[in-house]
Amino acid sequence: VCHLALAQEGFNRPGEVLFGTDSHTSTSGAFGMFSTGIGNTDAAFILGTGKLWVKVPESMCFEFSGTFPDHVMAKDVILTVIGDIGVDGATYRAMEWRGDAIMNLSMEERMTLCNMAIEAGGKNGIIEADNVTTDYVRQRTDAPYKIYRSDDDAKYFFKKTYNANEMEPVVAKPHSPDNKAKVSECVDVKLDRAYIGSCTGGKITDFLAAARLLKGKKVMIDTFIVPATREVEQDLHKEKIGSESLMDIFKNAGAYLGDPSCAACLGGPKDTFGRAKDNQVVISTTNRNFPGRMGSKKSYVYLASPYTAAASALTGYITNPAEFINN
């Protein structure tokens, strides 16, 4: 999956401009760069001229003060915001993420936030670069970069401040990313399978979160693990909780392990790994839940964080991860 591979291979650097022929190119905005998706014709124009006409988007600011609870992940944050403003609430605007709670997130969690800007209609997502950013970048490249910061008196089209301490795990119910509901309101939803993967939820931090809950337990439903890149797959063997690798934790829990890919996030042929069948109810760490997005048009997909997906895999029902983390 290119969106994570670009970061892993040192191509994401503060101050850069990145255009990619996939809508989730917005992921790279986590590095303090302008990053957005374009079509193939625009890509060809860039290859031929090195230029592209782009209207400068207005900015929207989402600030989170305080500290996120241990069982809340970036996926809960972005689903909350999309639920608040709608799938067209940020149309052709930059979604800027600010506040102490945001800046305390890891790079991969920041990538989750920017990844789903497009699900709110956004042109791009962006987070100002800091020491977390530069530490990540310098481990991967010596290429130069320049950090740009928002002006103190910057004017925003829209600004909203959230109390991070009050955040709760949420899901996006079928069939839209803005169909928000608290996990606590969906505990009677019976599931057929869980899917943990994609450019949104297939990073090593996502799998560390899932493994934390699955370690020493067995899943109650079919659970599919799909690393986003080959490097993530290798890290599943290297990273351990206690003496057990993440790969072994997933295998021992009864999950199915797939090759690095987008896999069922975009449906695919009927033999695609993890593809939803018939009227199955799926909880997934992916980014879209439109009818047919993960396979069968009759299926029902609930979008959730890796914590919530893993907790739900253990019970067979949508489950608040706090039940496992706090115990």
Cα–Cα distance between 108 and 301 in angstroms, integer?
23
Interval 111-132 mean pLDDT: 98
Structurally, how many domains does the chain consist of? 2
Q: Is the pLDDT of residue 326 over 80?
A: no
Residues 184 and 156 occupy one common structural domain: no
Residues 18 and 133 occupy one common structural domain: yes
Residues 219 and 296 occupy one common structural domain: yes
Interval 120-125 mean pLDDT: 98
**Ramachandran quadrant class, 189 (left: phi over 0; alpha: psi -120 to 50; beta: rest):** beta
Return all residues near 153 (Cβ < 8 A) that are at least 6 apart: none
pLDDT digits (tens, 9 = 90+) for 163-209: 999 999 999 999 999 999 999 999 999 999 999 999 999 999 999 99
Return all residues near 128 (Cβ < 8 A) that are at least 6 apart: 32, 96, 98, 147, 148, 149, 150
Residues 309 and 175 occupy one common structural domain: yes
Which residues form the domain of 116?
2-140+149-166
Report percent pLDDT > 70 for the chain. Answer: 100
Interval 217-226 mean pLDDT: 98
Structure tokens at 41: 């014709």
**Residues, the chain:** 327
Residues 160 and 200 occupy one common structural domain: no
Query: pLDDT-derived band of residue 327, with 50, 70 and 90 as boundaries?
Result: confident
Residues 35 and 156 occupy one common structural domain: yes
Residues 279 and 259 occupy one common structural domain: yes
Residues 200 and 309 occupy one common structural domain: yes
**Domain final position from 166, 200, 222:** 166
- Identity (one letter) of the amino acid at 26? S
Looking at residue 217, its pLDDT comes to: 98
CATH number (domain holding residue 188)? 3.30.499.10
Residues 159 and 11 occupy one common structural domain: yes
Is the peptide bond prior to 237 cis by the omega test (within 30 degrees of 0)? Answer: no
- Full-model pTM: 0.97
Looking at residue 9, its pLDDT comes to: 97
Residues 161 and 201 occupy one common structural domain: no
Q: Is the pLDDT of residue 118 over 80?
A: yes
Q: Is the pLDDT of residue 279 over 80?
A: yes
Interval 269-280 mean pLDDT: 95
Interval 144-157 mean pLDDT: 96
Residues 184 and 292 occupy one common structural domain: yes
Residues 14 and 55 occupy one common structural domain: yes
